[in-house]
């Protein structure tokens, strides 16, 4: 059986940076907390917990003497201010690509435009972006956007600034832009899909067209891992989404000659290696 591992599988720049910042803080002997799990991967979170890094759910759980790391998804302006008021040291590991979107929506609003975010409304990254303006709209797909325009009779001269969640797909983004271009006279768009994500999705798509089975490695809570599985399923009937090597059932691969492996941005290299060896 031949096994091919996608070159882009595993940690992206933003996740890698966030994990390193936590490691550095803990190694320096700081009382390190992360606001939410640092990444969507329980193995990494468990390793940090064993090293004394604590996960908190709200800024108020921190205090003077603590060091709080903000994860790569970023947080809203309000959460940032609440963190500052605790007196804790803040290490901001917000991915620079996400930080850029915070600036875009904030500036758009200051210029009198309505920020429109294409993404999953309940995703922490999207909640964080929405929190850098006072009013915005978030749409998961073009149908939701069409519904908004129709039901609220949105005028075509409304100045709109569209951005995307970094892990959205090109397909979804293009459909939304296509609709918005027909709808709004004063439209501004910023394709803020992360290129690391785009590359990973393109590679997963290509690999799944050439393989009889695909293994997608990652945490089930990770949206980019879920999207990878969805993309692979468009081309391949046998797609297995696993958290680690122990979840693989070798019987599923008996009659398969070609297997592809890809992994979400929060999957450490050692888990990918174990899956490959299995």
- Quick check: 190 binds ligand SF4 (CB under 6 A)? no
Give residues with Cβ within 8 angstroms of 102, minimum separation 6: 74, 77, 94, 128, 129, 132
Q: Is 13 in the site for ligand SF4 (CB under 6 A)?
A: yes
Build a one-symbol-per-residue string for 193-212: x at contacts with ligand SF4 by CB under 6 A, - elsewhere: -x-xx---------------
- When the beta carbons of 119 and 260 are compared against ligand SF4, the nearer one is 119
| Matching residue, tokens 């003497």 | 65
Buried (b) or exposed (e) across 27-50, using 16+ Cβ within 10 A?
A: eeebbbbbbbbbbbbbbbbeebee
Listed ranges 47-55, 94-102, 211-219, 226-234: which one lies at the site for ligand SF4 (CB under 6 A) = 94-102
240 CA to centre of own chain: 20
- How near is the Cβ of 224 to ligand SF4 at its closest, in Å? 6
Our finding on whether 35 is near ligand SF4 (CB under 6 A) is no
98 is a site residue for ligand SF4 (CB under 6 A): yes
Beta pairing, strands 213-217 & 258-263 = parallel
Rule CB under 6 A: say whether 117 interacts with ligand SF4.
Answer: no
Work out whether 97 is an interface residue with ligand SF4 (CB under 6 A).
yes
156: Cβ contacts below 8 Å, ≥ 6 apart = 183, 184, 185
Per-position x/- string for 130-169, each x denoting binding to ligand SF4 as judged by CB under 6 A, each - no binding: ------------------------------------x---
User: Which residue is nearest to ligand SF4, using beta carbons?
Assistant: 14
Q: Which of 9, 12, 19, 204 binds ligand SF4 (CB under 6 A)?
A: 12
Site mask for ligand SF4 (CB under 6 A), range 54-93, x = bound: ------------------x---------------------
> Which of residues 98 and 211 has its CB atom nearest to ligand SF4 in the complex?
98
Q: Check binding of 41 to ligand SF4 (CB under 6 A).
A: no
Q: Is 125 a catalytic residue?
A: yes
Judged on CB neighbours under 10 Å (0-12, 13-18, 19+), 94 is buried
In terms of CB distance, is 113 or 200 closer to ligand SF4?
200
Which among 7, 12, 3 is positioned nearest to 264, based on CA atoms? Answer: 12
Residues classed as catalytic: 125
């Amino acid at each position: 059986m031949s096994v091919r591992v996608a070159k882009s599988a595993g940690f992206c720049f933003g996740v890698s940076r966030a994990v390193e910042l936590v490691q550095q803080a803990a190694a320096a002997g700081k009382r390190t907390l992360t606001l939410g799990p640092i990444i969507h991967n329980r193995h990494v979170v468990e390793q940090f917990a064993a090293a004394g890094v604590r996960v908190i759910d709200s800024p108020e759980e921190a205090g003077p003497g603590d060091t709080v790391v903000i994860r790569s998804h970023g947080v809203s302006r309000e959460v940032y201010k609440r963190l500052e008021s605790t007196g804790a040291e803040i290490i901001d590991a917000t991915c620079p690509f996400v930080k850029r979107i915070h600036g875009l929506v904030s500036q758009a609003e200051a210029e009198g435009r309505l920020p429109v975010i294409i993404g999953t409304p309940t995703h922490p990254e999207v909640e964080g972006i929405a929190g850098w303006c006072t009013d915005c709209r978030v749409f998961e797909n073009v149908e939701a956007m069409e519904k908004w325009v129709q039901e609220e009779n949105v005028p075509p001269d409304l100045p709109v600034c569209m951005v995307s969640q970094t892990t959205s797909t090109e397909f979804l983004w293009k459909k939304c832009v296509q609709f918005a271009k027909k709808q709004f006279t004063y439209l501004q768009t910023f394709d803020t899909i992360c290129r690391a994500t785009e590359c990973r999705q393109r590679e997963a798509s290509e690999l799944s067209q050439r393989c009889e089975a695909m293994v997608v490695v990652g945490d089930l809570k990770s949206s980019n891992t879920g999207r990878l599985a969805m993309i692979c399923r468009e081309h391949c009937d046998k797609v297995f989404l696993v958290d680690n090597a122990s979840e693989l059932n070798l019987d599923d691969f008996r009659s398969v000659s070609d297997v592809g492996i890809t992994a979400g941005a929060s999957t450490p290299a050692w888990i990918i290696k174990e899956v490959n060896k299995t």
